[in-house]
Structure 1
Amino acid sequence: MAETTRASDPGTGTATPDAHTAPLSEFDRDTAVRRRARGEFETVIADGWSVFGAVNGGYLKAMVGRAVAETLPHPHPATVTAHYLTAPRPGPAVIRVETVREGRTLSTATASLTQTDPDGTEVERLRVLATHTDLTAGPDEVRTTAEMPDIPAYEDCVGMDLAPPEFLRDAPIVHRLAGRLDPDCVGWAVGVPSGRAGTRGWFAFADGRPVDPLALLMVGDALPPSVFDLGLSGWVPTIELTTHVRALPAPGPLRVALTTRNLAGGLLEEDGEVWDSAGRLVAQSRQLARAPRG
């Protein structure tokens, strides 16, 4: 697929024409979609958002989210749930979006991402149910008992790019991000896990792209799994991932806190909170995943 000449609008999370043809960020380039029919888009899954050969689920969700945002009349995702059905691979894919309802303040759609196997069989990789809104149109009142996680300053946290070379070679997504981890949460990397099943740190794009509502769809799946802090290691495949987008993020890196309270029957949940530089809870996530076997 030829690279589109559309750039991300941080205010909407959708693609908009760029009169100055500024270079696209890696995220916008690698989640770009091209409409080929009503409700149908073609795209290419990039290989730079993977860990040990597995394409990151949050990246895929954002890619489908872009197609949904270009279909519905409301610009911002409010709640998006993705079910991961089969393992995707880098390469061409098709996204089909079906509008379910268009209302005054909310609109809803379903979407699926498929790929064609070498034998010509079309296989569905993930299915999404999304409700969109306009985050600039809601009331300003905020009442919350949630407390912003206590994370050391960005510069005092550990860069994920300091991981061993063999890990960086097999986890190219790390090069796309300027993520940093709370030093209190990285004992597992040196064989001394804390046993608390939590990951805290900062999220930012390596190329400086601002985080908008579309990018928030991947933030809760972009740090190391919280169960690594239990001493477990290996692939943690996502079964289902839901994200609630609560506000437009203020500029700057985002604080992210992930926790797991129950690992049983080979499955675990991971709850995420995402806070912006203004101290607002801008997104919440929950996923169900398979426990690693390592």
Structure 2
Amino acid sequence: MAQATIGNSEFDRDTAVTRREPGVYEARVSAGWTVHGAANGGYLLALIGRALGDTLPHPHPFTITAHYLGATRPGPALVRTTAVRGGRGLSTGQASLCQTAPDGTETERVRVLASYGDLDALPADIRTTAKPPAIPPYEHCAGRNEGRDRGRDEGRDPVPDAAAALSERLDVRLDPATAGWAVGAPSGRGEMRAWFGLADGRDPDPLALLLAVDALPPTAFEMGLTGWVPTVELTAHVRRRPAPGPLRVCVVTRNLAGGYLEEDAEVWDTQDRLVAQSRQLARPVVKRAG
């Protein structure tokens, strides 16, 4: 099968928006990017980010924050955007994704505030202590289905895959050290590491990075918890345009308290560059494994 390209892939089609009038975009939330029947937060961020990119004078998201007000279900949606400020290097806008409730009223599902710029205009100077995550080679990391099959062979019950629709569209290869949850043997550490790509081979771009920061299994799984972990708020920083090829993603949780946890993510490209970062607050709706 021919490899999909940027602008001609399932991800591009399913995040497409059509301008109805200035500041109002029609969209269709695809069932292919859902978890427990609700659209994945990173996918929604990319969809809304595409509408903001059409509204604002700068092309790329630099920082984008979303508050998820309720579950977004597959089907028609409207994205309403407003340009807040325009500057030489950055422009700022806000957006809301809305759907029609059963009673016919328009209901806001996601609200976003973002600043956009031009990644290609950034200076090349880098001074950092950040290092790429240590992940085994791609071919030594198992896909989610492979891990589940191994768990069954070993007589252990794998965690039910509520993200089946989403995982079919991704090529996620988990570091075995953070994949014990998939075979019923979580490590107890709040960390997830993986190679990440789209299943159809489309290379990453700035919008795909917004998906990547929220596409790995929840770190709560490796802490011995199972179930849905919906995002309350997610902030992503896009640092550079990614090079072609699979990304390395590392997500860490240091504190699960009061029914909420944070997840800090880093995304690295094939040139060992830190291309995106994020932090989110999530609320596990979980039960203890076993």
Are 2:164 and 1:171 aligned? yes
Give 2:36's match in structure 1, choosing from 43, 52, 76: 52
Q: What is residue 139 of structure 1 aligned with on the other side?
A: 123
Which residue identity lines up with residue 133 of structure 2 in the other structure? P
Q: What is residue 143 of structure 2 aligned with on the other side?
A: 159
Give 2:84's match in structure 1, choosing from 92, 95, 100: 100
Are 2:124 and 1:126 aligned? no
Alignment of 1:64-75 (within 5 A): 64-75=48-59
Offset of residue 126 of structure 1: 0.3
CA distance in structure 2 between the aligned counterparts of 1:254 and 1:266, rounded to whole angstroms = 31
Q: 3-state SS of the aligned residue for 1:83?
A: strand
Offset of residue 117 of structure 1: 1.2
CA distance in structure 1 between the aligned counterparts of 2:163 and 2:63, rounded to whole angstroms = 31
* CA 286–169 in structure 1, closer or farther in 2 if over 3 Å, else same: closer
Q: What is residue 255 of structure 2 aligned with on the other side?
A: 262
Q: What is residue 186 of structure 1 aligned with on the other side?
A: 179
CA distance in structure 1 between the aligned counterparts of 2:57 and 2:220, rounded to whole angstroms = 39
* CA 53–115 in structure 1, closer or farther in 2 if over 3 Å, else same: same
Identical counterparts, % of pairs: 61
CA distance in structure 1 between the aligned counterparts of 2:51 and 2:145, rounded to whole angstroms = 31
Q: TM-score, normalised by structure 2?
A: 0.91
Residues 207-249 of structure 1: per-residue CA shift (max 9 Å, x gap): 1111100111111110001121110010001000010000010
Which residue identity lines up with residue 10 of structure 2 in the other structure? E
Q: What is residue 132 of structure 2 aligned with on the other side?
A: 148
Give 1:222's match in structure 2, choosing from 215, 221, 245: 215
CA distance in structure 1 between the aligned counterparts of 2:189 and 2:162, rounded to whole angstroms = 28
Contact 1:85/1:125 (8 A) holds in 2: yes
Contact 1:197/1:227 (8 A) holds in 2: yes
Q: What is residue 117 of structure 1 aligned with on the other side?
A: 101
Stretches of structure 1 lacking an aligned partner (at least 5 in a row): 1-7, 16-23
Offset of residue 169 of structure 1: 7.5
Q: What is residue 243 of structure 2 aligned with on the other side?
A: 250
Contact 1:273/1:284 (8 A) holds in 2: yes
Are 2:191 and 1:207 aligned? no
Are 2:31 and 1:26 aligned? no
Are 2:71 and 1:87 aligned? yes
Contact 1:263/1:291 (8 A) holds in 2: no
Offset of residue 168 of structure 1: 5.4
Offset of residue 161 of structure 1: 3.6
Q: How many residues align?
A: 275
Which residue identity lines up with residue 190 of structure 1 in the other structure? V
Q: 3-state SS of the aligned residue for 1:58?
A: helix
Q: TM-score, normalised by structure 1?
A: 0.90
Offset of residue 163 of structure 1: 5.5
Are 2:61 and 1:61 aligned? no
Give 1:277's match in structure 2, choosing from 270, 276, 279: 270
CA distance in structure 1 between the aligned counterparts of 2:112 and 2:122, rounded to whole angstroms = 24
Query: Could you list the runs of 4 or more consecutive aligned residues of structure 1 that deviate by over 2 angstroms after TM superposition?
Result: 160-170
Which residue identity lines up with residue 275 of structure 1 in the other structure? W
Q: What is residue 22 of structure 2 aligned with on the other side?
A: 38
Contact 1:161/1:168 (8 A) holds in 2: no
CA distance in structure 1 between the aligned counterparts of 2:126 and 2:139, rounded to whole angstroms = 30
Contact 2:33/2:169 (8 A) holds in 1: yes
Which residue identity lines up with residue 219 of structure 1 in the other structure? A
Q: What is residue 156 of structure 2 aligned with on the other side?
A: none
Which residue identity lines up with residue 264 of structure 1 in the other structure? A
Residues 156-184 of structure 1: per-residue CA shift (max 9 Å, x gap): 10112435599458621111011110011
Superposition RMSD in Å:
1.6
Contact 1:160/1:178 (8 A) holds in 2: no
Q: 3-state SS of the aligned residue for 2:181?
A: helix
